[in-house]
Amino acid sequence: AGYAISSLGPAAIAAVHAAVPALELDVHLAVREPARHVVEVAAAGASRITFQLESLASTYEALDLVRAIIDAGCTVGVCLAPSTPISALAPLLEVGEGLIELV
């Protein structure tokens, strides 16, 4: 279904959320098309959705994803691979100022 570890997908998120509803769940979407999973993991109980910047083709695609995450009721985190310079975030932060909670 697009999950690197299928046992840690939306069903596991929902189970943890049901057991400990007050727990803030940060779900890292380390997948090729993170936008496909936003609604499902948000509905399962994610509080923050973190995505891998390198999985997206452009700043515009990243901004669309940020907006989708916010529209799903979650806060946003962005993760960078160690080889990606921090400057890669600059265009996203300039256009999406105030939208990203965690880098």
Smallest CA-to-CA distance from 50 within 73, 16, 18, 76 is with 76
**What is the Cα–Cα distance from 42 to 26, expressed in whole angstroms?**
10
Q: Residue 70 belongs to what domain range? A: 6-95
Q: What is the pLDDT of residues 52-84, one digit of tens each?
A: 999 999 888 998 998 899 999 999 899 998 999
Residue 97 pLDDT > 80, yes or no? no
Residue 13 pLDDT > 80, yes or no? yes
28 is a domain residue: yes
100 is a domain residue: no
**DSSP string for residues in 15-63:** HHHHH-TTS--EEEE-SS-GGGGHHHHHHHT-SEEEEEGGGSSSHHHHH
14 is a domain residue: yes
CATH number at residue 45: 3.20.20.70
Residue 50 pLDDT > 90, yes or no? yes
Q: How many domains does the chain contain in total?
A: 1
Predicted confidence at residue 103, as pLDDT, reads: 67
pTM: 0.83
| Residue 93's pLDDT band (cuts 50, 70, 90) | confident
Predicted confidence at residue 1, as pLDDT, reads: 46
Residue 3 pLDDT > 60, yes or no? no
Higher-confidence residue: 102 or 91? 91
103 is a domain residue: no
